[in-house]
Amino acid sequence: MERRPRIDGHTLLAGVIGWPVAHSRSPLMHNFWLEQRGINGAYVPLPVAPGSFDVAVRGLQAAGFRGVNVTIPHKESAYRIVEEHGRLDRSARRSGSVNTLVFAPDGRIEGYSTDGDGFVANVEAHGIPVTGGRALLLGAGGAARAIAASLLDRGVDVVVANRTRARADALAASLAGITVIDWAQAGDVLPSCRFLVNTTSIGMNGGADAVFPLDLARADAGLVVCDIVYVPRQTALLQQAASHGLRTVDGLGMLIHQAGLGFEKWFGATPDIGPGVEAVLDADLHRAHAG
C-alpha cells in the first residue's frame, strides 16, 4: 500500500454530514481507500445540527470540499437543496432521497442516491443475479424506497410490508409498481418470493424488539435472505435463514458498495471494493461490540 501524502494545500476534501455522526464508519472506509490509492485526500465527520444544513453545505462548497455524504436527519434537506439549486441524478429522483452530494466545478450541487444500487451490487457480488422474480421488502423508510426503485428497474416484482400500513401505502403511492400488504400477511407471500429484504431496524445491535411476521420454514429453497442491518453482521434473521439452508447476504457489503460512487466522483479513482476494506470495517465493528 502506498503512503498517503500529508495534508496540505492540495488535499482533496470530503466528509459525512449527520447529527450525530461520530458513529459513522464512512471516514474509516474512505480514508482506508485514500491511503490504499495513494491519493492526497481526507474524509472527515461533520456534525451539523438540525436547522444548519443549508449553511453548512454552502460553507463546505465555498471552502473547496469536493462533496459530502448525508445521513440522518438531513436526507430530506439534501434532496431539497439539490432540487432548488442543483441537479438531481435519476437515482435520487427514483428513490426520492439524496445521500451523496457532489460539488461540481460549475457551482451546482449534484445529488445522488446510492443505497439502492449499492444493495443490488452487494447481492450480485455474492454471485446472485438481481433480475426478475419477486422480492418481499420489510419496512417502508428511505432505504426501502431506494432499494425498491433499484429492484423495480431490474424487473423484480416488489411487495412491501410495514408495521404501520399507512407508511407502506405512501411508499407505493410515490413509486409505481409496488404491491402493499399488511405486516401480518408477509408470511403468506413468502413462499412465492425469490428475495426477502429486511430494511427495518429489527435486529440492530442484537436487539429483539419485535418479531418478524413470517416462518422461514415456508420459504422456497431458492430464497435469498438479505438484511441491511450490519451491526451485528449476522442478525437473528440471517441466522434463522442459514439454519434453514437458505442463502444470506448481510448489510456490510451494501455499506461498502454504496460508498464507491461518491469516492469516484470526489477523488477521481475507483476504490477497491474487496476483502481489504471489509476486513478493516469488520475489525472495527468487533472492537466496538467488545467495548
CA nearest neighbour of 30 among 274, 256, 221, 207: 256
pLDDT digit string, tens, across residues 38-48 = 999 999 999 99
Return the C-alpha torsion angle 243, 249, 251, 256, nearest 10. Answer: 150
| Interacting residues of 80 by C-beta distance below 8 A, sequence separation 6+ | none
Q: Report yes or no: 272 and 141 within 8 Å, Cβ to Cβ.
A: no
Q: 225-260: buried (b, 16+ CB within 10 Å) or exposed (e) per residue? A: bbbbbbbbbebbbbebbeeeebbbbbbbbbbbbbbb
115 is in an annotated binding site: yes
Cα–Cα dist 45/47, whole Å: 6
52 is in an annotated binding site: no
Q: Structure pTM? A: 0.91
Q: Is 79 annotated in some ligand binding site?
A: no
247 is annotated as contributing to ligand binding:
no
Burial class, 185, CB count within 10 angstroms (exposed 0-12 / middle 13-18 / buried 19+): middle
Q: Domain map of the chain by residue range?
A: 12-113, 116-252
What residues are annotated to the active site?
Answer: 75
Report the pLDDT value the prediction gives residue 210, as an integer from 0 to 100.
Answer: 60
Do the first three CATH levels of 12-113 and 116-252 match, i.e. the same topology?
A: yes
For the segment(s) 116-252, the CATH number from 3.40.50.720, 3.30.70.60, 3.30.360.10, 3.40.50.150 is 3.40.50.720
To the question of whether residue 80 is assigned a binding role by annotation, the answer is no
Is 251 assigned to a binding site?
yes
Backbone angles phi, psi at 115, to 5 degrees: -65, -45
Q: Which of 48-52, 67-71, 73-77, 157-161 comes out lowest in average pLDDT?
A: 73-77
Give φ, ψ of 264 to 5 degrees.
-60, -45
Q: How far apart are CA 219 and CA 204, in angstroms?
A: 23
Question: Residues 89-146: pLDDT tens digits?
Answer: 999 999 888 999 999 999 999 999 999 999 999 999 999 999 999 999 999 988 899 9
Q: Can you name the residues that pair with 87 across neighbouring β-strands?
A: 110
Annotated ligand binding at 163? The verdict is: yes
Q: Spelled out in words, what is the top-level CATH class assigned to the domain 12-113?
A: alpha beta
Residue 247 pLDDT exceeds 60 = yes
